[in-house]
Amino acid sequence: MMMLSGEALSRGVLMPGRQGETVRISTIGSRAWLVEAPGDFDLPAQRRIWSLAALLRAHQEVESLIPGVTNLLVLFRHTPVDVQATLDLLHTLWSQAQAVHPCGKLIEIPVSYGGEHAIDLEAVCRHCDLSAAEVVRRHYRGHYTVFALGSAPGFGYLHGLDPTLATPRKKVPSLNMLKGTVTIGGAQTGVSALTGPNGWNAIGFAELTVFDPMAENPALMAPGDSVRFVPERIEL
């Protein structure tokens, strides 16, 4: 039997999967285990993460599951006694996981592109070597899927950004970006859930509340939902 020290596991263990895949499993504390999908940041990987979560829900020793962007945090009710058995369980279920296709809702978000809130549009244009009009066009023509919620209540990490628009997050965050700001961060896009510090690149604004704690369903978005940005106004 392969013996694993706690230190080695916390750094992450690479486990071979189907067709030469490698899934990374690591611990965060004694009861929380993180499973990271192999490959690129893409929809097939996320669909298998959702499938893995569905398989793990059937296990009584699992207390809660937190899907992230191509990863899944598994919180056990008790600290696993047998590390190898837990690794084997997660690896086996990952091998069994098949891509699922959640029937999420379609969310259409009217956006005012450019203008006073698009403080980083020029920087995005420079990075991508595109005109402002082309950046806006490629952004609203995208078809986006909510991968996960996090960072702030109701904030959706959206996959589907045109690769030519991928722009690194800012080295110096904006200190008071308004909620509803439409942003690009790396290969993802999103809508700010709260007003405050934000390192993503602002290209537009939407009069939208993505999280309402008083609502029956507080978060507007859910994993598996589809999002379309609709250009309500373009001010360049």
Assigned architecture for domain 106-235:
Beta Barrel (2.40)
Residue 125 has phi, psi (to 5 degrees) of -60, -45
- Spatial distance between the Cα atoms of 111 and 234, rounded to a whole number of angstroms: 8
Integer angstrom CA distances of residue 30 from 13, 117, 178, 214:
15, 44, 38, 34
Integer angstrom CA distances of residue 61 from 77, 87, 94, 110:
6, 14, 17, 44
* pLDDT mean values, one per 10 residues, the chain (236 residues): 43 47 86 91 91 94 94 96 93 89 90 97 98 98 95 94 98 95 97 96 96 93 96 96
Query: What was the pLDDT predicted at 21?
Result: 61
Distance of CA 187 to the CA centre of its chain: 10
Query: What was the pLDDT predicted at 12?
Result: 53
- Spatial distance between the Cα atoms of 131 and 198, rounded to a whole number of angstroms: 24
- Spatial distance between the Cα atoms of 67 and 35, rounded to a whole number of angstroms: 10
Query: What was the pLDDT predicted at 41?
Result: 84
Sign (positive or negative) of CA dihedral 234, 143, 225, 187 = negative
Q: Tell me the domain boundaries of the chain.
A: 6-96, 106-235
CATH T-level topology, domain 6-96: Gyrase A; domain 2 (3.30.1360)
The residues that bridge with 183 in the sheet, in sequence order, are 190, 202
